[in-house]
Amino acid sequence: MKIAMTLLSGVYYGGATIFNNLIPALVAADSKNEYHLFVPEGHPFINQVKQKNFIFHECVGRNQSVLKRFLWEQLILPRELKKYKVDVLFMAKNINILLARCKTIIALQNMEPLAYREYDNDWKLNVASWIKWHLNKWSVRKADYIVAVSQAVKDRAIRCFPGIEKKVSVVYNGNPVPSSQATRNSSLQRMGGGGQEPFILTASKFVAYANQLNLVKAYQCLCEKNPNTPPLWFAGGVHDKKYFEKVQNFVDNNGLKERVKFLGLVPQDRLFELMRQAQVFVFPSTLEACPHTPIEAMSCGAPIAASSTPPMPEICKDAAIYFDPSNPDDIARVIEQLLTEEKKRDELRARGPVRAQFFNWNKTAKALMDIFKL
């Protein structure tokens, strides 16, 4: 069987994480099927992957615009698929290749286009999400099979696109934390978090659904109740500038400027270190697919307070305690519980790495290989 994948769009954030882990897992699991991988010029996999059944096609420059990569995929890739007599095209993202004549499989990894109307986003983000919504709708209709990366994604997709039930399966993403980091995590957990002064950590890009505004409102409640509450650190870039400014303004206007630190984008190794050291890791998001961040936090042995919105309970199970993300008082209550109950923090530190082992890229690769055969 000839299987094609395009890595042109998965060049940042979660997309890069998926490909950087999934491709090596497929290489290890499959020496029989022929894979045609369409990549930007000079992609590191070209030199890293030497297995003969993995064939790389350099298509566009490494720094091409999103629009140019999209147009290449939609207009040129169908001819390439026909040229190489590809049997199955797997898109590890929501958007399908609409003109492809072979069997197509898509993975629903991004819930923003399916739910953007529920949030007060910047108008430019809404326009982009409106376009993506229509592309998602056409993509789902075109797909012969759909991979949902959590049960929550499957449930929402069925609500949005009635009639797709028979062609959707749940396949979770794997664990983004390398095994070398996991070994390091174990030793640091025994040391009690690395000796760092206590702090509360959260990590996500700033966008309305990530819910940082309700988190700082909860943090204000905690500080009013206990002036010795540890500082709150935000890791993550700015996706919606106006929303970020709302969060900043609340911090400034409520006397929290000396207590709240905005770290910006943090390198992966440094983020893992912060997760290991955090007294509490908070994940208040209200819209996720198969979120890598709480999986990373579990791997790092962080005591997690998480949103009760699906799929967070599905992902973390008993390795987190949950709050109503729309209620700052409830967020504050759960964070306070973890800050004051050392025994509960220790329980979650122990449960997290165990739960994180459920997410395995080799298992993901083998499940996808089964779907390719359908």
Predicted confidence (pLDDT) per residue in 323-358, tens digit: 999 999 999 999 999 999 999 999 999 999 999 999
Asked whether the predicted pLDDT for residue 113 surpasses 80, the reply is yes
Residues 6+ apart with CB under 8 A from 134: none
pLDDT value, residue 183: 45
Residue whose C-alpha is closest to residue 108's, from 60, 50, 172, 195? 172
From residue 26, alpha-carbon distances to 99, 151, 240, 364 in Å are 26, 23, 35, 9
pLDDT value, residue 264: 96
Residues 6+ apart with CB under 8 A from 239: 125, 205, 206, 207
Q: Quick: pLDDT tens for 262-317.
A: 999 999 999 999 999 999 999 999 999 999 999 999 999 999 999 999 999 999 99
For the chain, percent of residues with pLDDT exceeding 70: 94
- Mean pLDDT over all residues of the chain? 93
Q: Residue 147, CB half-sphere, CA atoms under 13 Å: how many?
A: 27
- Lowest average pLDDT, out of 11-25, 82-96, 313-327, goes to 11-25
What confidence category does residue 192 fall into, taking pLDDT thresholds of 50, 70 and 90? very low
Alpha carbon distance 254, 250 (integer Å): 6
Asked whether the predicted pLDDT for residue 190 surpasses 50, the reply is no
Asked whether the predicted pLDDT for residue 14 surpasses 70, the reply is no
| Of 267 and 179, more confident | 267
Alpha carbon distance 227, 208 (integer Å): 28
Asked whether the predicted pLDDT for residue 191 surpasses 50, the reply is no
Residue whose C-alpha is closest to residue 239's, from 276, 257, 212, 267? 212
- The letter for the amino acid at 238 is V
Task: Walk me through the domains of the chain, giving residue ranges and CATH numbers.
Answer: 2-174+360-372 (3.40.50.2000), 179-356 (3.40.50.2000)
